[in-house]
A and B are shown apart, each in its own frame.
Chain A
Amino acid sequence: MSPVILKVALSAIAGTLASTLVGCLPALHVYNVAMLMIVFHEHVAQSAWGSDQFILMPFLMGLIVGWAVLNTVPAVFLGAPDESAMLMVFPTQKYLMQGRGYEATMLSGLGALGGAMGLLLVAPLLPTLLPIARNVLSPHLFWLLALIIAYMVMSEFPRGGDRGPTPLARFWDAWKSLLAGILTLVLAGWLGFLLMRRAPIGVTFEFSKIMPAFVGLFGIPWVLQNIASGTEVPPQYVPRSADATPFIAFRGISAGFLGGFFAAFFPIVTGGIGGLLAGHATAQNDERAFIISQGASKFVYYVGAFLLFFVPAANLARGGLGHLVRTMYIPRTMGEYLMILGAMALSSGLAFLLLGVMARLIIWLIQRINYRYLSWLTLFIMLGLVFAMTGWGGLFITVVSTAIGLIPVVFHARRSHCMGVLLLPVTIEMAGYGPQLARLMGLT
């Protein structure tokens, strides 16, 4: 093995191992850690060891691969998902309550592994297809994003509403949750617009502006719900195999891959939205296929977005990590593309193995510590990290966004409406209405 390949492999392995801590701590987002790593590399590693920027890339790939795979653990066992895993929590919490948390975790891991294989399969086509897709779709982006918003609103169908003394009473009963969903979307969008125009926190990187809102909208409501409901987790068992046929795995992976890739390619469309669309496109009505698809979607969204950065001639920086790295490094050659693909393949396999280990570890933990205490601890870790990274301003944003994130919880509306925090403001800006709205809101 040549020294360069060895260096790349070791760097990817180191990144994946580092992700075990990052991925299993709720609210600690990989982009925040990657940001610290880049700063550390710039100021310490390079001068101390003369380390090449090139070698940081497989490390970052390992980090994001590991995070995309292992972050399922807090989502399943602590009910503390990030935005891209939000849809997964509802079915996986049911698995957890049936003592099948480990199985849910591994199903998601299976999806991630399938996503990695899918990325490797399409990798030879990307240098040809991506520039074409970008040229065709870029001018249409504003209405395509609006299309997603319209679908999110229109596709929520009322639950219940068939009991009541009068038709009007039944109508109102059904529409309560629909209106709550629309309210959530609008409020989240309003918050997002405010944060983009005038965030009350001084930050170096764009992602940090939105991170406190993400924690409040997507993570904290689940944890609060667990605390309030006094959830007691039953004993968990570790099966020898997952209850999924090849057909179900194929359905889940293909759906998740397409949704995740759509999200990776389109700016602002996140893994959660990709997963939502993928589920609907393939008519998912099987929880196993759904969990697998969410695992695949999340993996392809995070890892695929970073991979696109390396596609020769595409010049695409998608996702937070691509934008962070672009400030210090521009890949140019096919060799770099192949190197990062190799790092991804290696890290994916390793991360999948680590997923089983970490899931067993957390099962050991939750069977010894009261789940409610663990939920409180999760809440404090989340708030502590937000405060450490963004200060009082960030904490304030988290509180406000938690209030918005609780609306769909209370009224049984779709939680994905919280994704309006990015979708609405970006669509408005892209359509050219941003300045007018900002003037209207007194933000100029």
Chain B
Amino acid sequence: MKGFTHFISATAVASCVPGAAQYAIDHTSFILLWGGVFGLLPDTLDFKFNRFFYKFDTLYEPAQEPDPEEIAAVVARHIERAQAEKRVVTLHLHTIKLGADLWRQYQIAFDTEQQQIHVEIGPIVNTGKVPIPGSEPREKHSATTPVACRFTQNYDTVTTVSIFSGPSFAFVPKPEGVDVQFLPWHRSWTHSLTLGALFGLIAWVIAALASGHWLYPAWMFGTVVTLGYWTHVVEDQFGFMGSNLLFPLTKERTPGFHTMRAMDPLPNFMTCWLSVALLFWNLSRTTSSFPQVELSGWAYVLYAVIIPVALMLFGRALMRPAEPQPAVTEARVPMPSPPRAGAPAPPEEDEEDEEPS
């Protein structure tokens, strides 16, 4: 999900901790803020720290005039190497920067059924991912290379490489073939429930030392931090990639439920809306002047949750046919044609948590 969604939903969940909202007013405390901060922390750790210190076997830099055959071969050979050497092999593909605001786009498709890698060189795009008309390569724009061993992939079958940073892959040998893991440095130890519990414990101890009492209000700080962190991990599980939920007890990511994409507007917006409704309700419990109108909990649920959600779903159903279909949704699809100006781009290398510029 988007960072904002994690942030606001974690704050809302934190506000459910009994007494926390009241404590915020009574002591001019920023306690609920910590829910939001720790709700965004897993991605902060990954994108601002973890990714830079992750070790790669190969950092591949495509040429300014890229050769699709070479790129496909590099990917295929790394998969085969993982199988042959029986160890995890990691690869990072760089973007192709042509100027201050110009990038050459290319796409890599993992065809798990035909066991081959397909690469297509796309148009030149600007930093807004808008293609420059007529910039598509005229010759040698695609290539397919077979892979000499079985491989599996449970994330997007097509990865688009365009601006800023390129994608990373870990090729993990397994009995059923080499597992292609997208962004291996992401959603690893940072996205674990155990780390959330540890942070909560630390917050508890710090709050206890600061307040001089081991129980109140220290337990609230600890719970707010843990719940905020857990909210992020649980929400991410609804996507495709999943998380390493019980690190260090578990070593790999548990695959996600595949119910939504991180960039889907409706799930993001709906989660935000429900979070704000929950937060408002919890805050309203702290003020005596709230019941200016007689509103029971059920009436609030009806007006603030059920009706708006129904309207959103109805609006989506009404508007959806006008929206272009996603370029790539399933395995074994041919390469999508370059998107027209402003059209939604196919999944980007770090789309799961990418922030708009």
Chain A residues within CB distance 8 Å of chain B = 90-91, 94, 98, 128, 131-133, 135-137, 139-140, 142-143, 146-147, 150-151, 154-163, 167-168, 170-171, 174-175, 178, 243, 245-248, 250-251, 255, 277, 279-288, 290, 431-432
Chain B interfacial residues counted at CB < 8 A: 69
Given A155-B40, A171-B52, A283-B263, CB of A290 within 8 Å of CB of B356: yes
Known contacts A94-B128, A178-B48; is A147 also within 8 Å of B287 by CB?
Answer: no
Residues A247 and B323 in contact, CB atoms below 8 Å apart: yes
A233, chain B: closest CB distance, angstroms: 16
11 CB < 8 A contacts A-B: A98-B130, A135-B287, A143-B24, A146-B30, A157-B355, A162-B92, A167-B55, A245-B322, A247-B323, A285-B356, A431-B30
Nearest CB of chain A from residue B21's CB, rounded to whole Å: 8
Quick one: closest B residue to A229, CB to CB?
A: B100
A-contact 0/1 string along B1-14, CB 8 Å cutoff = 01111011001000
* Choice from B3, B33, B165 contacting A280 with Cβ under 8 Å: B3
Q: Bound complex: CA of A432 vs CA of B28, how far in Å?
A: 8
Q: Answer whether A157 and B48 are a contact pair too, CB < 8 Å, given A128-B293, A163-B94.
A: yes
A residues less than 8 Å from B48 (CB atoms):
157-158, 174-175, 178
Q: Is B25 interfacial (CB 8 A cutoff)?
A: yes
**A281 with B319: CB separation less than 8 A:** no
Chain A residues near B8 (CB, 8 Å)?
281
Which residue of chain B is the closest to A169 with respect to CB atoms?
Answer: B52
CB neighbours (8 Å) of B268 from chain A are 281-283
Spot the interface stretch: B191-199, B328-336, B338-346: B338-346
Contact of A147 among B36, B94, B272, B283 (CB under 8 A): B36
Asked, given contacts A137-B283, A143-B32, A286-B342, whether A154 binds B44 with beta carbons under 8 Å apart, the answer is: yes
Indicate if the CB atoms of B47 and A281 lie closer than 8 Å.
no
Kindly report which residue of chain B lies nearest to residue A163, judged by CB atoms. B94
Complex Cα gap A161–B54 (Å)? 12
Give chain B interface residues in 286-343, CB to chain A under 8 Å: 286-287, 289-290, 292-293, 315, 319-320, 322-323, 341-343
B135 contacts partner chain A, Cβ-Cβ < 8 Å: no
Cβ–Cβ contact A281 & B4, under 8 A: yes
The answer, yes or no, to whether B126 is at the interface (CB within 8 Å) is yes
- A159 and chain B: residue at smallest CB distance: B164
Cβ-defined partner of A143 (8 Å) among B29, B44, B265, B356: B29
Separation in Å of the A261 CB from the closest CB of chain B?
12
In the bound complex, residues from chain A placing their C-beta under 8 Å from that of B290 are: 132, 135-136
> Who on chain A is nearest to B41 by CB?
A154
**Which of B40, B55, B289 is the one whose CB lies under 8 Å from A151?**
B40
Tell me which residues across on chain B come within 8 A of A255, comparing CB atoms. Answer: 269
Instruction: Tell whether, in the assembled complex, residue A167 and residue B25 are in contact, meaning their CB atoms are under 8 Å apart.
Output: no
Assess whether A151 is in contact with B52, with CB atoms less than 8 Å apart: no
Interface centre among A168, A171, A281 (most CB of B within 10 A): A281
Complex CA gap A135/B280 in Å reads 11
Cα A247 to Cα B266 in complex, Å, equals: 12
Chain A hits for B24, CB < 8 A: 140, 143
Q: Closest Cβ of chain B: how far from A266's Cβ, in Å?
A: 13
Interchain CB contact under 8 A, A285 and B345: yes
Q: Within the complex, which residue of A142, A160, A175, A285 is in contact with B164, where a contact is CB–CB below 8 Å?
A: A160
| B166 contacts the other chain (CB 8 A) | yes
Distance of A347 from chain B, by nearest CB (Å): 28
Q: Mark B34-71, 1 if CB is under 8 A from A, else 0.
A: 00110011011001110111110000000000000000
Give A133 to B92 CA distance when docked, in angstroms.
50
In the complex, residue of chain B having the shortest beta-carbon distance to the beta carbon of A132: B292
Alpha-carbon distance A196/B213, docked complex (angstroms): 38
Known: A131-B292, A137-B283, A285-B345. A90 touches B357 (CB 8 A): yes
- Beyond A143-B24, A151-B4, A162-B165, list 14 extra A-B contacts (CB 8 Å): A98-B130, A135-B292, A147-B36, A150-B33, A151-B40, A154-B41, A157-B3, A167-B54, A168-B52, A174-B52, A243-B341, A247-B322, A250-B319, A281-B2
The docked-state distance in angstroms from the alpha carbon of A147 to that of B40 is: 12
